[in-house]
Amino acid sequence: MLTFVGIGLYDEKDITLKGLDAISCADRVFAEFYTSKMMGTTIDRMESQYQTKITVLSREAIEIDPSWLHHAKCENVVLLTGGDPLISTTHIDLRLRASDLGIATAVVHSASIVSAAPGLAGLQNYRFGKSATIPFPYHTRSKTVVSETPYNVILQNLANNLHTMLFLDIDRDRGCMTIPEAVELLMRVDCEREHGTPMHSALGIGIARAGSPDVLVRCDRLCDLATFDFGAPMHLLIVPASLHPLEADALVRFADAPEWIR
């Protein structure tokens, strides 16, 4: 049996009682933290809180060679993930692999940034369109390549008057992308477009450390967010479409948004 257990947004205390029950019944407990990092805790603190040994898996052990799955054929195995399990397509693929091996699976849900971010920003969750991830640039022999996909997703959503949630990349060497870095990448794509929508004048909402005691939410023009210090990760960026009056009021009240957005 393989049970996916979400452990929430920030630290070891975000886990649900059902999640703790699943861990207490497990023969082995694994965890992965490349799709989402728990910035408010450590493995030692998690092991102390959950009273179990946790084996942290690499990205390769999740996506390429999940040989550890064979334990779930005859044992109760738990996989801990940040946020809510199966939000990441990586975990859906892993569940399908387990099914191919004849392994039964179960899911214990938890808080996700997908639902937390709209609430923190005061935005109506049914007004969000397609989301995207802003990846770090990669280098070829001749140039540095910046992905245009997030930019195109924003334009598509704005054309349909929908908000865009943008997840920021996590890299083994470069760490967690910040909101200013993400904005700079969007502006680079914008400058290369002959007939683009100027990102420097667009509105943005930056969210840092959701689920923590010092969560920060700030709304301003993207060009101003590019110079704002949001502090420690994790960061997330939202580019909103036109605002409902209640959304605008919430952003002014709770995200230090300028009055002109009303």
In the three-class reduction of DSSP (H, G, I as helix; E, B as strand; rest coil), residue 167 is classed as strand
- 2-111: CATH topology is Cobalt-precorrin-4 Transmethylase; domain 1 (3.40.1010)
> Residue 187: what pLDDT?
93
Mean pLDDT of all residues in 126-139: 95
> Residue 142: what pLDDT?
79
> Residue 26: what pLDDT?
98
**Which pLDDT tens digit goes with each residue over 147-196?**
999 999 999 999 999 999 999 999 888 999 999 999 999 999 988 876 65
Domain locations in the chain as residue ranges = 2-111, 114-261
| DSSP, res 163 | B
CB atoms within 10 A of CB 77: 22
> Residue 194: what pLDDT?
65
Q: Evaluate whether 2-111 and 114-261 have a shared fold.
A: no
The more confident residue out of 243 and 190 is: 243
Q: Distances in Å between the alpha carbon of 156 and those of 59, 104, 138?
A: 31, 39, 24
**Which pLDDT tens digit goes with each residue over 90-116?**
999 999 999 999 999 999 999 999 999
**Which pLDDT tens digit goes with each residue over 29-43?**
999 998 888 999 999
> Residue 144: what pLDDT?
87
Question: Which pair of tokens denotes residue 250?
Answer: 């919430």
Q: How confident is the model at residue 197 (pLDDT cuts 50, 70, 90)?
A: low
Domain 114-261 class?
alpha beta
Mean of all residue pLDDT scores within the chain = 95
Alpha-helical segments (H) within the chain? 17-24, 43-50, 59-63, 89-100, 113-121, 149-159, 179-192, 222-225, 245-254
**Contact residues for 207 (Cβ-Cβ < 8 A; gap 6+):** 117, 120, 121, 215, 216, 217, 235, 236, 237, 238
Mean pLDDT of all residues in 62-77: 96
